[in-house]
Chains A and B, each alone.
Chain A
């Protein structure tokens, strides 16, 4: 069988609108807004001939498709290739790329390790680290927001939370970017990622071994679940790997995007400073407005329908979370960044059983950082153009020159 981007050739039903845009073109990844609009306008389900896949981008259909884990499975890969037909580049994640009942078991271990209760115990370190970092940066006339703040903070606190003895900040950030680029087509970001996968992946696997972890971190909790017989020791290593693929680059992106939002919307920074209770809701709005994870795919595991259009078994469906988060039908004025919006139900952390299991810790990190910044920084001003970094699943900044003006 000839595969297209690692999945079976699909002949779409004639009634499905065609969207002749390359969602993974460099220009689209750098500025996805026109594509999001075209996708939603074309229909509730569209065919994307560029990669021979279907796509959803309206809020309702995206949410339904993403949440229906029985019909639209994750075990066949959340990228363009179908794991039933093509061997993935690494052993599949046993929490992200898996269905119930196997998923239920690993999800339980992870959601316990990352529960709100656990995150509360980490907040003192998050706050102290944020305080020291922000104080140091306030002494500089200008900062590079991505390296100096967005990368510096999670690579300081997260390995400590996991209990890692080995810390290589560059590898930690890049591993996530590699994993997320891998879900795209055979394009330049994916090829670049794959060229570094062996080196970075090897370092990551070694760093996840039990002997390389302290006995009091999140990693140790996962290995304790292995001791209790809930999972095997190998599975514990795989789940610690999941902390690192999903827990560093994503929060780096969330922080960078937050700084970008506030640098572009000074009135919203003032609103946040005036009412610190908006710190947590403001991060939700950053997530909705910028969708750090912009696209994951699902595979139809049976012949089914989306929005009354037939969808054959084996079809890959792009779920464009970024488009759903900007759907005017759902949000009214999605193009406006408002810290008081409280956008419950946004799709940035996904939805359903595969909804981001680390979302509590991400919120904890951002709450710490934004609350310290709001207390100490009068204004966050652009000091040059923001440059986006094309990635097949992540909408992240490459560079963000900023001036932090102290109170």
Chain B
């Protein structure tokens, strides 16, 4: 069982179940978690699934993929060290308990 917690800018939290292999973006959409638009559906072409990974989870979530940084640089909300495109984080058992913060603005 993999669980992911999404934290809205106002502090509200939603913890949802994820299927292994799904991305953090897809999991949010599957569970109607607001704040992820994911206009491009995961092709790393739109920067509307931006999240800030909780610092404790940064290493587990892995490094940014090739080209991800350029796209994050286009995101509406500021890019920080913890910024990731949630379509590029694939969920495994090792990420059970992952916490991500949603930015103020997405699209």
- Bound together, the chains give a CA A116 to CA B45 distance in angstroms of 8
- Bound together, the chains give a CA A355 to CA B26 distance in angstroms of 17
B67 contacts A280, C-beta separation under 8 Å? no
Could you jot down 22 A-B contacts, CB within 8 Å? A107-B67, A108-B70, A111-B45, A111-B70, A112-B70, A115-B71, A115-B74, A116-B75, A280-B107, A344-B37, A344-B39, A344-B41, A345-B26, A351-B41, A351-B43, A353-B44, A355-B41, A355-B42, A356-B45, A357-B45, A359-B40, A359-B43
Residues A335-385 near B (CB distance < 8 A):
344-346, 349-353, 355-357, 359-360, 363
Report, as a range, how many residues of chain A touch the other chain: 20 to 34
Known contacts A108-B67, A360-B46; 4 additional CB pairs below 8 A are A115-B47, A284-B39, A351-B41, A353-B43
Contact A355/B40 with A111-B45, A116-B46, A360-B46 known, Cβ cut-off 8 Å = yes
Q: How many residues of B contact A (CB 8 A)?
A: 21
**Residues of chain B within 8 A of A345, CB atoms compared:** 26, 29, 41-42
**Residues of chain A within 8 A of B53, CB atoms compared:** none
CB nearest neighbor in A for B26: A345
Distance to closest chain B CB from A193 (angstroms):
28
- Decide if A170 is an interface residue (CB 8 Å cutoff): no
- Bound together, the chains give a CA A104 to CA B70 distance in angstroms of 13
- Bound together, the chains give a CA A280 to CA B41 distance in angstroms of 14
Q: B residues touching A (Cβ–Cβ < 8 Å)?
A: 26, 29, 37-47, 66-67, 70-71, 73-75, 107
- Bound together, the chains give a CA A150 to CA B39 distance in angstroms of 23
Distance to closest chain A CB from B90 (angstroms):
12
A346 contacts B41, C-beta separation under 8 Å? yes
Contact A355/B45 with A112-B70, A116-B74, A344-B29 known, Cβ cut-off 8 Å = yes
- Bound together, the chains give a CA A357 to CA B46 distance in angstroms of 9
CB nearest neighbor in B for A119: B74
Q: A residues touching B (Cβ–Cβ < 8 Å)?
A: 104, 107-108, 111-112, 115-117, 280, 284, 344-346, 349-353, 355-357, 359-360, 363
**Residues of chain B within 8 A of A352, CB atoms compared:** 42-43
CB nearest neighbor in A for B67: A108
**Residues of chain B within 8 A of A280, CB atoms compared:** 39, 107
B45 contacts A359, C-beta separation under 8 Å? yes
